[in-house]
Chains A and B, each alone.
Chain A
Amino acid sequence: MPLKSAEKDTQQYEGITHLQRHGSYWGIILNGIFGENTVFRLVLSLCPTVAVTTSLKNGFILGVAVLFVQVMVNVTVSAMRKFIHPRIRIPIYMLIISVWVTVIDMIMAAYARTVYAQIGLYIQIIVAYASIFARAELVASKNNITTSLVDGIGMGVGYVIALVIISFFRELLGRGTLWGFEIIPAKPLLIMILPTGGFMIIGLLIAFFNWIEMRSNKDKGTSGVSHH
Protein backbone atom coordinates (compact mmCIF):
# COMPACT_ATOMS: atom_id res chain seq x y z
CA MET A 1 0.00 0.00 0.00
CA PRO A 2 2.69 2.55 0.84
CA LEU A 3 4.24 1.75 -2.54
CA LYS A 4 1.06 2.59 -4.36
CA SER A 5 0.66 5.95 -2.67
CA ALA A 6 4.32 6.68 -3.38
CA GLU A 7 3.64 6.08 -7.07
CA LYS A 8 0.77 8.50 -6.96
CA ASP A 9 2.96 11.01 -5.19
CA THR A 10 5.41 11.07 -8.05
CA GLN A 11 2.61 11.49 -10.56
CA GLN A 12 1.09 14.40 -8.72
CA TYR A 13 4.08 16.32 -7.46
CA GLU A 14 6.94 14.88 -9.51
CA GLY A 15 8.57 13.33 -6.47
CA ILE A 16 8.59 16.31 -4.15
CA THR A 17 6.59 16.57 -0.94
CA HIS A 18 3.98 19.17 -0.17
CA LEU A 19 6.47 20.87 2.14
CA GLN A 20 9.17 21.11 -0.52
CA ARG A 21 6.69 22.44 -3.03
CA HIS A 22 5.83 25.43 -0.89
CA GLY A 23 9.25 26.00 0.63
CA SER A 24 8.31 26.23 4.30
CA TYR A 25 5.42 25.75 6.69
CA TRP A 26 4.73 29.46 6.35
CA GLY A 27 4.54 28.93 2.59
CA ILE A 28 1.89 26.22 3.06
CA ILE A 29 -0.20 28.52 5.25
CA LEU A 30 0.04 31.37 2.73
CA ASN A 31 -0.94 28.93 -0.03
CA GLY A 32 -4.10 28.08 1.91
CA ILE A 33 -4.98 31.72 2.45
CA PHE A 34 -4.14 33.21 -0.96
CA GLY A 35 -2.92 30.75 -3.60
CA GLU A 36 -5.65 28.15 -3.12
CA ASN A 37 -8.27 30.05 -1.16
CA THR A 38 -11.22 27.68 -0.99
CA VAL A 39 -13.93 30.21 -1.80
CA PHE A 40 -12.31 32.75 -4.10
CA ARG A 41 -9.77 30.66 -5.99
CA LEU A 42 -11.00 27.06 -5.95
CA VAL A 43 -14.70 28.11 -5.85
CA LEU A 44 -15.59 25.15 -3.61
CA SER A 45 -17.67 24.71 -0.45
CA LEU A 46 -20.00 27.51 -1.41
CA CYS A 47 -23.21 26.57 0.41
CA PRO A 48 -22.51 28.39 3.68
CA THR A 49 -20.89 31.38 1.98
CA VAL A 50 -24.36 32.72 1.20
CA ALA A 51 -26.32 31.09 4.00
CA VAL A 52 -24.52 32.10 7.18
CA THR A 53 -22.84 35.34 6.14
CA THR A 54 -25.73 37.62 7.06
CA SER A 55 -23.87 38.46 10.26
CA LEU A 56 -20.17 38.62 11.04
CA LYS A 57 -20.58 36.47 14.15
CA ASN A 58 -22.27 33.56 12.37
CA GLY A 59 -19.78 33.69 9.50
CA PHE A 60 -16.83 33.66 11.86
CA ILE A 61 -18.18 30.81 14.00
CA LEU A 62 -18.94 28.61 11.00
CA GLY A 63 -15.46 29.40 9.66
CA VAL A 64 -13.91 28.27 12.94
CA ALA A 65 -15.97 25.06 12.87
CA VAL A 66 -14.66 24.34 9.37
CA LEU A 67 -11.11 25.13 10.51
CA PHE A 68 -11.47 22.64 13.37
CA VAL A 69 -12.82 19.87 11.13
CA GLN A 70 -10.21 20.52 8.44
CA VAL A 71 -7.30 20.34 10.89
CA MET A 72 -8.58 17.27 12.72
CA VAL A 73 -9.40 15.39 9.51
CA ASN A 74 -5.99 16.17 8.05
CA VAL A 75 -4.22 14.97 11.20
CA THR A 76 -6.32 11.79 11.46
CA VAL A 77 -5.96 10.85 7.81
CA SER A 78 -2.24 11.58 7.92
CA ALA A 79 -1.74 9.48 11.05
CA MET A 80 -3.64 6.57 9.49
CA ARG A 81 -2.32 6.91 5.95
CA LYS A 82 -0.18 3.76 6.10
CA PHE A 83 -3.14 1.61 7.17
CA ILE A 84 -5.74 2.78 4.65
CA HIS A 85 -5.92 0.67 1.53
CA PRO A 86 -6.15 2.97 -1.52
CA ARG A 87 -9.16 1.16 -2.92
CA ILE A 88 -11.40 1.79 0.07
CA ARG A 89 -10.01 5.20 0.96
CA ILE A 90 -13.08 7.20 -0.07
CA PRO A 91 -15.55 5.63 2.38
CA ILE A 92 -12.91 5.77 5.10
CA TYR A 93 -12.30 9.47 4.55
CA MET A 94 -16.06 10.05 4.63
CA LEU A 95 -16.24 8.19 7.92
CA ILE A 96 -13.39 10.19 9.44
CA ILE A 97 -14.92 13.48 8.28
CA SER A 98 -18.36 12.61 9.62
CA VAL A 99 -16.92 11.59 12.99
CA TRP A 100 -15.27 14.99 13.42
CA VAL A 101 -18.34 16.82 12.15
CA THR A 102 -20.46 14.96 14.71
CA VAL A 103 -18.02 16.08 17.41
CA ILE A 104 -18.18 19.77 16.46
CA ASP A 105 -21.96 19.50 15.95
CA MET A 106 -22.44 18.24 19.50
CA ILE A 107 -20.03 20.79 20.97
CA MET A 108 -21.88 23.63 19.25
CA ALA A 109 -25.27 22.26 20.27
CA ALA A 110 -24.13 22.20 23.89
CA TYR A 111 -22.16 25.43 24.25
CA ALA A 112 -23.39 27.85 21.55
CA ARG A 113 -27.12 27.35 21.56
CA THR A 114 -28.31 30.62 20.04
CA VAL A 115 -25.86 30.43 17.16
CA TYR A 116 -26.54 26.73 16.70
CA ALA A 117 -30.26 27.39 16.32
CA GLN A 118 -29.46 29.58 13.31
CA ILE A 119 -26.64 27.71 11.59
CA GLY A 120 -27.01 24.15 12.91
CA LEU A 121 -27.95 22.66 9.54
CA TYR A 122 -24.88 24.16 7.92
CA ILE A 123 -22.62 22.73 10.62
CA GLN A 124 -23.96 19.25 9.85
CA ILE A 125 -23.49 19.90 6.15
CA ILE A 126 -19.71 20.36 6.68
CA VAL A 127 -19.62 16.59 6.04
CA ALA A 128 -20.29 17.24 2.39
CA TYR A 129 -17.66 19.92 1.79
CA ALA A 130 -15.60 19.08 -1.25
CA SER A 131 -12.68 21.13 0.06
CA ILE A 132 -12.15 19.07 3.23
CA PHE A 133 -12.30 15.85 1.27
CA ALA A 134 -9.93 17.22 -1.36
CA ARG A 135 -7.29 18.18 1.23
CA ALA A 136 -7.48 14.72 2.81
CA GLU A 137 -6.99 13.14 -0.61
CA LEU A 138 -4.36 15.50 -2.02
CA VAL A 139 -2.26 16.35 1.02
CA ALA A 140 -2.97 14.42 4.20
CA SER A 141 -2.85 10.97 2.58
CA LYS A 142 0.70 11.54 1.33
CA ASN A 143 2.43 13.74 3.88
CA ASN A 144 3.55 13.50 7.48
CA ILE A 145 1.43 14.72 10.36
CA THR A 146 3.08 18.12 10.82
CA THR A 147 2.76 19.06 7.15
CA SER A 148 -0.88 17.95 7.11
CA LEU A 149 -1.60 19.87 10.29
CA VAL A 150 -0.10 23.05 8.89
CA ASP A 151 -1.93 22.59 5.60
CA GLY A 152 -5.20 22.15 7.49
CA ILE A 153 -4.55 25.34 9.42
CA GLY A 154 -3.74 27.23 6.21
CA MET A 155 -6.84 26.07 4.35
CA GLY A 156 -9.05 26.60 7.40
CA VAL A 157 -7.77 30.10 8.05
CA GLY A 158 -8.23 30.91 4.37
CA TYR A 159 -11.84 29.80 4.67
CA VAL A 160 -12.41 31.83 7.85
CA ILE A 161 -10.98 34.91 6.12
CA ALA A 162 -13.23 34.42 3.09
CA LEU A 163 -16.34 34.09 5.27
CA VAL A 164 -15.32 37.10 7.36
CA ILE A 165 -14.81 39.27 4.27
CA ILE A 166 -18.21 38.33 2.84
CA SER A 167 -20.09 38.69 6.12
CA PHE A 168 -18.29 41.95 6.91
CA PHE A 169 -19.77 43.59 3.82
CA ARG A 170 -23.18 42.00 4.21
CA GLU A 171 -23.67 42.89 7.85
CA LEU A 172 -22.25 46.38 7.45
CA LEU A 173 -24.40 47.22 4.44
CA GLY A 174 -27.45 45.12 5.28
CA ARG A 175 -27.87 45.90 8.98
CA GLY A 176 -25.52 48.81 9.56
CA THR A 177 -23.88 46.85 12.37
CA LEU A 178 -20.72 44.80 12.93
CA TRP A 179 -20.79 41.84 15.37
CA GLY A 180 -24.04 43.32 16.68
CA PHE A 181 -22.65 46.81 17.35
CA GLU A 182 -24.16 49.69 15.46
CA ILE A 183 -21.75 51.34 13.01
CA ILE A 184 -23.91 53.20 10.51
CA PRO A 185 -26.81 55.00 12.18
CA ALA A 186 -28.91 55.15 9.03
CA LYS A 187 -31.48 53.00 7.25
CA PRO A 188 -29.51 49.98 5.93
CA LEU A 189 -29.75 48.36 2.52
CA LEU A 190 -32.08 45.49 3.31
CA ILE A 191 -31.23 43.78 0.02
CA MET A 192 -27.75 42.89 1.28
CA ILE A 193 -29.00 40.44 3.90
CA LEU A 194 -31.51 38.93 1.50
CA PRO A 195 -30.32 35.99 -0.65
CA THR A 196 -29.95 38.36 -3.60
CA GLY A 197 -27.32 40.41 -1.82
CA GLY A 198 -25.34 37.34 -0.82
CA PHE A 199 -25.07 36.04 -4.38
CA MET A 200 -24.24 39.51 -5.65
CA ILE A 201 -21.49 40.24 -3.10
CA ILE A 202 -19.77 36.93 -3.83
CA GLY A 203 -20.03 37.50 -7.59
CA LEU A 204 -18.45 40.92 -7.18
CA LEU A 205 -15.71 39.59 -4.87
CA ILE A 206 -14.75 36.76 -7.26
CA ALA A 207 -14.68 39.30 -10.10
CA PHE A 208 -12.50 41.55 -7.93
CA PHE A 209 -10.01 38.74 -7.28
CA ASN A 210 -10.00 37.91 -10.99
CA TRP A 211 -9.32 41.55 -11.77
CA ILE A 212 -6.37 41.64 -9.37
CA GLU A 213 -4.94 38.52 -10.97
CA MET A 214 -5.44 39.98 -14.46
CA ARG A 215 -3.61 43.13 -13.52
CA SER A 216 -0.74 41.19 -12.03
CA ASN A 217 -0.22 39.11 -15.19
CA LYS A 218 -1.58 41.34 -17.89
CA ASP A 219 0.35 39.81 -20.78
CA LYS A 220 -1.05 36.32 -20.25
CA GLY A 221 -4.47 37.02 -21.80
CA THR A 222 -7.49 35.31 -20.26
CA SER A 223 -5.61 33.34 -17.60
CA GLY A 224 -7.34 35.25 -14.84
CA VAL A 225 -10.81 34.01 -15.75
CA SER A 226 -12.10 31.14 -13.69
CA HIS A 227 -13.41 28.31 -15.81
CA HIS A 228 -15.35 26.37 -13.22
Chain B
Amino acid sequence: MEFGKLFELVVAASLINNFVFTRFLGLCIFFGVSKKMETAVGMSITFTTVMVVSAGLSWLVFEKIMVPLDITFLKIIVFIGIVAAFVQSADTIMRKVSPMLYYKLGVYLALITTNCIILAVPLINVGERYTFLESIFFGLGSGLGFALALILLASIREKLDLADVPRPFRGMPIAWIVASLIALAFAGFAGLITL
Protein backbone atom coordinates (compact mmCIF):
# COMPACT_ATOMS: atom_id res chain seq x y z
CA MET B 1 0.00 0.00 0.00
CA GLU B 2 2.84 2.33 0.94
CA PHE B 3 4.81 1.15 -2.05
CA GLY B 4 2.27 2.50 -4.53
CA LYS B 5 2.48 5.95 -2.96
CA LEU B 6 6.30 5.91 -3.08
CA PHE B 7 6.29 4.80 -6.71
CA GLU B 8 3.91 7.64 -7.55
CA LEU B 9 6.27 10.04 -5.79
CA VAL B 10 9.23 8.86 -7.87
CA VAL B 11 7.30 9.18 -11.13
CA ALA B 12 5.94 12.58 -10.15
CA ALA B 13 9.34 13.93 -9.11
CA SER B 14 11.22 12.60 -12.13
CA LEU B 15 8.80 13.09 -15.02
CA ILE B 16 5.87 15.33 -14.13
CA ASN B 17 7.60 17.82 -11.89
CA ASN B 18 10.99 17.34 -13.50
CA PHE B 19 13.45 19.60 -11.71
CA VAL B 20 14.94 21.06 -14.82
CA PHE B 21 11.85 21.53 -16.96
CA THR B 22 9.15 22.50 -14.51
CA ARG B 23 11.01 23.81 -11.47
CA PHE B 24 14.00 25.22 -13.39
CA LEU B 25 16.60 24.27 -10.84
CA GLY B 26 20.15 23.16 -11.47
CA LEU B 27 20.37 25.00 -14.77
CA CYS B 28 24.05 25.94 -14.35
CA ILE B 29 25.07 22.29 -14.18
CA PHE B 30 22.46 21.32 -16.75
CA PHE B 31 24.02 23.56 -19.38
CA GLY B 32 27.55 23.35 -18.02
CA VAL B 33 28.28 19.62 -18.19
CA SER B 34 25.97 18.56 -21.01
CA LYS B 35 28.53 18.91 -23.81
CA LYS B 36 29.76 15.32 -23.58
CA MET B 37 27.82 12.15 -22.85
CA GLU B 38 30.53 10.71 -20.61
CA THR B 39 30.66 13.62 -18.19
CA ALA B 40 26.87 13.85 -18.21
CA VAL B 41 26.58 10.23 -17.09
CA GLY B 42 29.20 10.68 -14.37
CA MET B 43 27.52 13.81 -13.13
CA SER B 44 24.10 12.14 -13.10
CA ILE B 45 25.33 9.27 -10.95
CA THR B 46 27.02 11.63 -8.48
CA PHE B 47 24.00 13.89 -8.37
CA THR B 48 21.48 11.14 -7.72
CA THR B 49 23.60 9.67 -4.94
CA VAL B 50 24.21 13.01 -3.26
CA MET B 51 20.53 13.90 -3.49
CA VAL B 52 19.26 10.69 -1.92
CA VAL B 53 21.75 10.83 0.95
CA SER B 54 21.34 14.54 1.64
CA ALA B 55 17.55 14.19 1.57
CA GLY B 56 17.78 11.48 4.25
CA LEU B 57 20.36 13.32 6.36
CA SER B 58 18.56 16.64 6.30
CA TRP B 59 15.23 14.98 7.18
CA LEU B 60 16.82 13.40 10.24
CA VAL B 61 18.41 16.66 11.37
CA PHE B 62 15.27 18.69 10.74
CA GLU B 63 12.70 16.40 12.35
CA LYS B 64 14.82 15.03 15.18
CA ILE B 65 16.92 18.04 16.16
CA MET B 66 15.54 21.27 14.76
CA VAL B 67 11.81 20.75 15.34
CA PRO B 68 12.20 19.73 19.02
CA LEU B 69 14.54 22.68 19.65
CA ASP B 70 12.23 25.03 17.75
CA ILE B 71 14.98 26.42 15.53
CA THR B 72 13.37 25.67 12.17
CA PHE B 73 14.05 29.24 10.99
CA LEU B 74 17.70 28.20 10.66
CA LYS B 75 16.84 25.61 8.01
CA ILE B 76 18.61 27.34 5.11
CA ILE B 77 21.88 27.64 7.04
CA VAL B 78 21.73 24.10 8.42
CA PHE B 79 20.82 22.45 5.10
CA ILE B 80 23.60 24.16 3.22
CA GLY B 81 25.99 22.97 5.90
CA ILE B 82 24.80 19.37 5.63
CA VAL B 83 24.90 19.42 1.85
CA ALA B 84 28.33 21.05 1.73
CA ALA B 85 29.80 18.56 4.18
CA PHE B 86 28.40 15.61 2.31
CA VAL B 87 29.40 16.93 -1.12
CA GLN B 88 32.91 17.57 0.14
CA SER B 89 33.21 13.94 1.17
CA ALA B 90 31.70 12.73 -2.12
CA ASP B 91 34.25 14.91 -3.89
CA THR B 92 37.13 13.35 -1.96
CA ILE B 93 35.91 9.82 -2.60
CA MET B 94 35.54 10.48 -6.30
CA ARG B 95 39.03 11.93 -6.53
CA LYS B 96 40.36 8.75 -4.97
CA VAL B 97 38.21 6.22 -6.84
CA SER B 98 38.12 7.73 -10.32
CA PRO B 99 40.77 10.41 -10.95
CA MET B 100 40.01 10.54 -14.68
CA LEU B 101 36.35 11.45 -14.11
CA TYR B 102 37.41 13.91 -11.43
CA TYR B 103 39.79 15.57 -13.86
CA LYS B 104 37.08 15.91 -16.49
CA LEU B 105 34.36 17.28 -14.24
CA GLY B 106 36.90 19.67 -12.71
CA VAL B 107 35.29 22.92 -11.71
CA TYR B 108 31.72 21.60 -11.75
CA LEU B 109 32.41 19.29 -8.84
CA ALA B 110 33.27 22.35 -6.81
CA LEU B 111 30.09 23.99 -8.09
CA ILE B 112 27.95 21.07 -6.88
CA THR B 113 28.53 22.25 -3.29
CA THR B 114 26.46 25.33 -3.85
CA ASN B 115 24.10 23.87 -6.38
CA CYS B 116 20.52 24.93 -6.04
CA ILE B 117 18.98 21.59 -7.02
CA ILE B 118 20.68 19.75 -4.17
CA LEU B 119 19.59 22.37 -1.68
CA ALA B 120 16.05 22.47 -3.08
CA VAL B 121 15.35 18.79 -2.35
CA PRO B 122 15.58 19.14 1.46
CA LEU B 123 13.72 22.45 1.36
CA ILE B 124 10.83 20.95 -0.61
CA ASN B 125 10.82 17.83 1.60
CA VAL B 126 10.43 20.01 4.67
CA GLY B 127 7.87 22.26 3.03
CA GLU B 128 5.69 19.30 2.04
CA ARG B 129 6.20 17.55 5.42
CA TYR B 130 7.22 14.27 3.79
CA THR B 131 8.05 11.27 5.99
CA PHE B 132 11.56 9.81 6.07
CA LEU B 133 10.90 7.22 3.34
CA GLU B 134 9.00 9.73 1.20
CA SER B 135 11.90 12.18 1.48
CA ILE B 136 14.38 9.59 0.29
CA PHE B 137 12.18 8.53 -2.61
CA PHE B 138 11.55 12.15 -3.53
CA GLY B 139 15.33 12.64 -3.63
CA LEU B 140 15.69 9.52 -5.78
CA GLY B 141 12.99 10.62 -8.21
CA SER B 142 14.44 14.11 -8.48
CA GLY B 143 17.90 12.69 -9.11
CA LEU B 144 16.64 10.32 -11.79
CA GLY B 145 14.67 13.12 -13.44
CA PHE B 146 17.74 15.35 -13.49
CA ALA B 147 19.84 12.50 -14.89
CA LEU B 148 17.28 11.92 -17.64
CA ALA B 149 17.25 15.59 -18.59
CA LEU B 150 21.05 15.85 -18.55
CA ILE B 151 21.56 12.74 -20.66
CA LEU B 152 18.88 13.79 -23.17
CA LEU B 153 20.48 17.19 -23.66
CA ALA B 154 24.01 15.76 -23.80
CA SER B 155 23.09 13.28 -26.51
CA ILE B 156 21.49 16.02 -28.60
CA ARG B 157 24.39 18.42 -28.11
CA GLU B 158 26.88 15.79 -29.25
CA LYS B 159 24.99 15.59 -32.53
CA LEU B 160 24.75 19.39 -32.69
CA ASP B 161 28.54 19.62 -32.93
CA LEU B 162 28.21 18.37 -36.50
CA ALA B 163 25.38 20.72 -37.41
CA ASP B 164 25.78 24.06 -39.12
CA VAL B 165 24.43 26.40 -36.45
CA PRO B 166 24.26 30.17 -37.17
CA ARG B 167 27.28 31.86 -35.56
CA PRO B 168 25.54 33.88 -32.81
CA PHE B 169 23.68 30.74 -31.72
CA ARG B 170 26.75 28.54 -31.26
CA GLY B 171 27.48 27.27 -27.77
CA MET B 172 25.00 28.34 -25.11
CA PRO B 173 22.07 29.80 -27.08
CA ILE B 174 21.39 26.71 -29.18
CA ALA B 175 21.51 24.59 -26.03
CA TRP B 176 18.78 26.79 -24.54
CA ILE B 177 16.65 26.41 -27.67
CA VAL B 178 17.11 22.61 -27.53
CA ALA B 179 16.16 22.64 -23.84
CA SER B 180 13.07 24.63 -24.71
CA LEU B 181 11.98 21.96 -27.19
CA ILE B 182 12.62 19.16 -24.66
CA ALA B 183 10.56 21.16 -22.15
CA LEU B 184 7.72 21.18 -24.67
CA ALA B 185 7.88 17.39 -24.77
CA PHE B 186 7.93 17.16 -20.97
CA ALA B 187 4.83 19.38 -20.82
CA GLY B 188 3.02 16.30 -22.14
CA PHE B 189 3.50 14.57 -18.78
CA ALA B 190 1.56 17.30 -16.96
CA GLY B 191 -1.44 16.00 -15.08
CA LEU B 192 -0.47 12.33 -15.42
CA ILE B 193 -0.67 11.80 -11.67
CA THR B 194 -2.19 14.24 -9.24
CA LEU B 195 -0.80 13.89 -5.75
Q: With CB as the reference atom, state the residue of chain B lying closest to A105.
A: B76
Whether B116 contacts A210 by the Cβ 8 Å rule is: no
Q: B residues within 8 A CB of A194?
A: 183-184, 187
User: A187 to chain B: closest CB distance in Å?
Assistant: 19
Whether B23 contacts A225 by the Cβ 8 Å rule is: no
Whether B168 contacts A207 by the Cβ 8 Å rule is: yes
Whether B168 contacts A224 by the Cβ 8 Å rule is: yes
A124 within 8 A of B: yes
Helix, strand, loop or mixed for chain B's interface? helix
The count of A-to-B residue pairs whose CB atoms sit within 8 angstroms is 137
User: A118 to chain B: closest CB distance in Å?
Assistant: 13
Whether B27 contacts A210 by the Cβ 8 Å rule is: no
User: B48 to chain A: closest CB distance in Å?
Assistant: 18
B181 within 8 A of A: yes
Question: Which residue of the partner chain, among B22, B116, B168, B174, contacts A195 with CB atoms under 8 Å?
Answer: B22
Q: With CB as the reference atom, state the residue of chain B lying closest to A133.
A: B114
Q: A residues within 8 A CB of B26?
A: 47
Given contacts A124-B76, A125-B120, contact A51 B23 (CB under 8 A): yes
A23 within 8 A of B: no
Q: A residues within 8 A CB of B24?
A: 47-51, 195, 198
Interface string of B162-195 (1 = CB under 8 A from A): 0000011111111111011101101100000000
Interface string of B32-70 (1 = CB under 8 A from A): 100000000000000000000000000000000000000
Whether B176 contacts A202 by the Cβ 8 Å rule is: yes
Question: Which residue of the partner chain, among B115, B119, B181, contacts A196 with CB atoms under 8 Å?
Answer: B181
Given contacts A46-B27, A203-B173, A203-B177, contact A101 B168 (CB under 8 A): no
- Distance, CA A214 to CA B169, complexed state (A): 11
Whether A199 contacts B167 by the Cβ 8 Å rule is: no
- Distance, CA A46 to CA B27, complexed state (A): 6
- Distance, CA A210 to CA B169, complexed state (A): 8
